[in-house]
């Protein structure tokens, strides 16, 4: 298999794996009230993108992986909309995936080579930064539709989303970073093969449709 093809199949695999995690673990977390889904899924994204960078070694690959994961979520556009929130329940998670990808793609190449404390600081900064971006997006969304998002209905709600959830998310992201460091072996070339990447993509789409 040509190296260029392997690279793209690696992107497809990691993006599909992220999409599968969103459709399964994310679905489960949305049904619980212990932790906000985004708090945990940031840690999942951090771990997966660290593993992907270890294998693919490209910041552009990380951006493409996030795009694949967001497009998998977009499959929900072909399903009946949420009875209350409509397709906002699709658009907002997609935006979160893109925001997390943009921020993590900036810090992961540096985090991977930095000493422990600066690396953990980078994860903390990423956890807070994507939330700032998302709050800005919600301000625009609410202004356009004349709504008030849950995260913006009060200063306390906004600060809780940004600071409290952001710090918890950062701690979980640090745990993902620690797991990555403990798992020293680079992901095998099997993740670059179409016989692995394509079924993973199909599985992620099926999970999105069925859950």
Cβ-proximal residues to 74 (8 Å cutoff; 6+ apart), any chain: 90, 94
Name the domain count of the chain. Answer: 1
Angle at 70 between CA 198 and CA 85, to 5 degrees: 130
> CA 190 → CA 6, 21, 73, 184, distances in Å?
10, 19, 25, 17
pLDDT along the chain (211 residues), means of 10: 81 98 92 76 96 95 98 96 89 97 95 89 97 97 93 95 96 96 85 95 97 88
- Residue 120: give the domain boundaries: 3-210
57: left (phi over 0), alpha (psi -120 to 50) or beta: left
Q: What is the model's pTM? A: 0.95
List the structure tokens of 171: 């701690």
pLDDT computed for residue 41 by the predictor = 95
Closest CA to 108 of 131, 127, 135, 136: 127
Those residues with Cβ within 8 angstroms of residue 153's Cβ, 6 or more apart along the chain or in another chain = none
């Amino acid at each position: 298999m040509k190296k260029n093809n392997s690279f793209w199949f690696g992107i497809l695999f990691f993006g599909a794996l992220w999409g599968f995690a969103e459709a399964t673990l994310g679905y489960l977390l949305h049904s619980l009230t212990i932790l906000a889904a985004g708090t945990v899924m940031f840690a999942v994204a951090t771990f997966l993108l660290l593993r992907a960078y270890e294998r693919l070694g490209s910041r552009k690959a990380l951006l493409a992986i996030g795009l694949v994961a967001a497009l998998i979520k977009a499959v929900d556009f072909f399903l009946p909309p949420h009875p209350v929130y409509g397709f906002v329940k699709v658009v907002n998670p997609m935006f979160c995936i893109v925001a997390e990808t943009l921020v993590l793609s900036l810090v992961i190449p540096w985090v991977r080579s930095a000493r422990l404390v600066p690396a953990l600081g980078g994860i903390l900064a990423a956890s807070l930064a994507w939330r700032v971006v998302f709050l800005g997006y919600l301000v625009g969304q609410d202004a356009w539709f004349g709504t008030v998002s849950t995260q913006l209905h009060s200063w306390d709600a906004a600060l809780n989303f940004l600071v409290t959830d952001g710090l918890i998310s950062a701690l979980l992201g640090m745990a993902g970073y620690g797991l990555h460091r403990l798992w020293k072996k680079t992901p095998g070339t099997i993740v670059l093969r179409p016989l692995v990447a394509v079924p993973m993509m199909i599985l992620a789409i099926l999970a999105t449709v069925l859950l």
